[in-house]
Amino acid sequence: SSANKEVIIGHDRPTVLIGERINPTGKKKLAAALQAGDLELVCQEALTQVKAGADILDVNVGSSDVDEVSLLPQVVQAVMDTVDVPLCLDSTNPQALEAALKTYRGKPIVNSVNGEEHSLEKILPLVKKYGAAIIGLTMDNEGIPNSPERRVAIAHKIVERAETLGIPRQDVIIDCLAMTVGADSRAGLVVIEAIRRVKAELGVNQTLGASNISFGMPDRNLLTSYFLAIAIAAGVTCP
């Protein structure tokens, strides 16, 4: 939720769209603006995405030349002042996440935790402390597994650890991690199978960076659209 707006994610609800364009990766203009402390472009991106139908906005300021701990809460504040939709606070830095969680009005999503012990120990207590929801990536210190079985096993581990800390299952969103079919023709089948099993075994909400599937391929938009439709049918609730 934001200060005034609640978005409910669920298998019996309409699909919730997370806008992910507030991210300096591969965006020189945005990266330069963030380094200069100029937040106007971020606010423009926020408005554009909400007008295009985004229900939730992901906010990521991570790049090598910025101090995330001071910048992430500033950007979160600027976006909250611009649009009234819930935010997804996207960082691997626990200090930056806590700084942003302190300033946030409402119930945000934290993006993300994974199956590594270090990640679980650092991120989940923050999620519990601030009453946030959490995205769990099905990868660990060995990287992203090639098999659906391993991804599902990591999903179980994340959900169980969250519940042990008192974070309810409905606040955990699993990402089974779409990989490009350009590098591995089985990538689509693996992730769809993992999504199906996570839904069947855990019943949790799921997100997915669907556009990853078409990276380096022709007709990217068409391929991504087809894949996203299949992923939603399999169990993705908030791409």
Per-residue pLDDT tens for 48-93? 999 999 999 999 999 878 899 999 999 999 999 999 999 999 999 9
214 CA to centre of own chain: 18
Question: Model's pTM, two decimal places?
Answer: 0.96
DSSP-derived secondary structure for the chain: --SS------TTSPPPPEEEEE--TT-HHHHHHHHTT--HHHHHHHHHHHHTT-SEEEE----TTS-HHHHHHHHHHHHHHH--S-EEEE-S-HHHHHHHHHH--S--EEEEEESSHHHHHHHHHHHHHHT-EEEEES-BTTBS-SSHHHHHHHHHHHHHHHHHTT--GGGEEEE-----TTT-TTHHHHHHHHHHHHHHHH--EEE--GGGGGTT-SSHHHHHHHHHHHHHHHT----
| 85 vs 6: CA distance, rounded Å | 8
| 50 vs 60: CA distance, rounded Å | 16
The proportion of the chain whose per-residue pLDDT surpasses 90, expressed as a percent, equals 97
Average pLDDT of span 8-14: 97
Whether residue 39 has pLDDT greater than 90: yes
Q: What is the pLDDT of residue 65?
A: 83
212 neighbors 180 (Cβ within 8 angstroms): yes
Q: What is the pLDDT of residue 64?
A: 79
18 neighbors 60 (Cβ within 8 angstroms): no
Cis previous bond, 70, omega within 30:
no
Whether residue 41 has pLDDT greater than 90: yes
Average pLDDT of span 183-197: 96
Q: What is the pLDDT of residue 63?
A: 84
Least confident window among 57-61, 113-117, 214-218? 214-218
